[in-house]
Amino acid sequence: MAHEDADRLATELVIYASRLVRAVRRHAGDEVAPETLRLLAQIDQRGPIGITQLAQVENCAQPTMSAAVRLLAEKGWVERAADPRDARASLVALTAAGAAELRRGRERFGRVVAGWFAVGPHTDADLRRAVDLMKSLVAHEAGQ
Amino acid sequence: MAHEDADRLATELVIYASRLVRAVRRHAGDEVAPETLRLLAQIDQRGPIGITQLAQVENCAQPTMSAAVRLLAEKGWVERAADPRDARASLVALTAAGAAELRRGRERFGRVVAGWFAVGPHTDADLRRAVDLMKSLVAHEAGQ
DNA sequence: CAAGATACATAGGGCGCCTATGTATCTTGG
DNA sequence: CCAAGATACATAGGCGCCCTATGTATCTTG
């Protein structure tokens, strides 16, 4: 059945995505994990942003984001400023050290993936298409 | 620089892989997580297999695999039999319930991904290529 | 201005992953 | 043939990511 094949393909996508993340995390050693880099990238992109909103764009629970931001703050990679228009809220932004860490992390991920990539038969265009596909999948999660 | 772009692209691949796994896990609710299904699929494929060897093919530490197999066994999805040729070793195999769970999990992952997939502009061939790409990347991790 | 909504923190738990270490059991060189 | 090292697995203990439940300010509004 074509149905079974499609299920299997979708399952493989998820499974290999999981493997890829684990592989990169292992090769990252003691440095920033994919989840951390993801969060740094998000904060970099969204500028000063509140915890709750950050949790929403990251699709995680607010307490999860509180804890994650606290860890980043302890490492000096983000700063929490008071929101002048709402005393309940805080605005999270990257520090210079956080921006540097984001850059270093990207370089390292790039090196690691490039190393595996070079051995295989795929092109840069394949890589871009794969990224687009997953971006599209994830984008449509929240939407329904 | 082309270098910076490549790093960014590789980083995005990893980040979106991480998002995809999280998204699927969330939509799986209380049912099997991607990591669990990955392990069930592995045991299904490799037949009766020892803990250490399973840890090797899954690229994780042996105690990690011991714990994972224990959880699967508690749920009745795998059975540990004594290895007749080595009293230290045990042979892990799927039970009927485990095989059924694997089937159900694949169907659910298929449904979830298909739901997001249908909204986007991508084809089955794109999906297949993305899977192949990640498979290739992960395959070359151990190889070097 | 009380009552509900909202932003965030804390408490507590589960799972995936790790290293260090212990306990059998196998294998092998003297 | 038997001690010594190698091997298969388990246990202990720890960290990160993620969750729900709940508490505490602060905002908003009828």
Q: Give residue A2's pLDDT.
A: 57
Residue A94's Cβ-side half-sphere holds a number of Cα atoms within 13 Å equal to 20
Two structure tokens written together for A55: 């949790």
Mean pLDDT of A82-93: 95
Inter-CA distances, B38 with A20, B55, B102, B122, Å:
12, 12, 9, 25
User: Beta partners for A81?
Assistant: A91
Q: Give residue B28's pLDDT.
A: 77
Distant-in-sequence, close-in-space partners of A74: CB < 8 Å, separation ≥ 6: none
By C-alpha distance, which of B61, B69, B76, B60 is closest to B90? B69
Looking at residue A49, the DSSP 8-state letter turns out to be B
- In contact, B82 and B90? CB cutoff 8 Å: yes
Whether residue A20 is predicted with pLDDT greater than 70 in this model: the reply is yes
Q: Which residue is closest to A8 within chain B, CA to CA?
A: B106
Q: Give residue B143's pLDDT.
A: 59
Q: Give residue A3's pLDDT.
A: 63
Do the chains contact at B11 and A126, CB–CB below 8 Å? no
Distance (Å, rounded) from C-alpha A67 to C-alpha A63? 6
Confidence at A31, pLDDT banded by 50, 70, 90: confident
Q: Which residue is closest to B136 within chain A, CA to CA?
A: A120
Distance (Å, rounded) from C-alpha B54 to C-alpha B47? 10
% pLDDT > 70, chain A = 95
Q: Give residue A142's pLDDT.
A: 65
By C-alpha distance, which of A77, A15, A84 is closest to A40? A77
Confidence at A84, pLDDT banded by 50, 70, 90: very high
- In contact, B68 and B39? CB cutoff 8 Å: yes
Those nucleotides of strand D lying less than 7 Å from any protein Cβ are: 7-13, 16-22, 25-28
Q: Give residue B74's pLDDT.
A: 92
Mean pLDDT of A112-118: 86
Q: In a structure prediction context, what are the per-residue pLDDT tens digits for chain B, which is 144 residues long?
A: 556 677 888 899 999 999 999 999 888 777 889 999 999 999 999 979 999 999 999 999 999 999 999 999 999 999 999 999 999 999 999 999 999 999 999 998 888 888 888 888 888 899 999 999 999 998 887 654
Whether residue A79 is predicted with pLDDT greater than 70 in this model: the reply is yes
Two structure tokens written together for B31: 């049912």
Helix axis angle for B124-142 and A2-28, nearest 10°, is: 40
Task: Out of A11, A117, A141, name the one closest to residue B137 (CB).
Answer: A117
% pLDDT > 90, chain A = 63
- In contact, A119 and B140? CB cutoff 8 Å: yes
Distance of CA A120 to the CA centre of its chain: 24
- Which pTM does this prediction carry? 0.88
Q: Which residue has the tokens 């042996």?
A: B62
By C-alpha distance, which of B57, B122, B121 is closest to B92? B57
By C-alpha distance, which of B105, B53, B91 is closest to A18? B105
- Within 10 Å of residue B81's Cβ, how many Cβ atoms? 11
Chain A nearest C-alpha distance from B133 (Å): 7
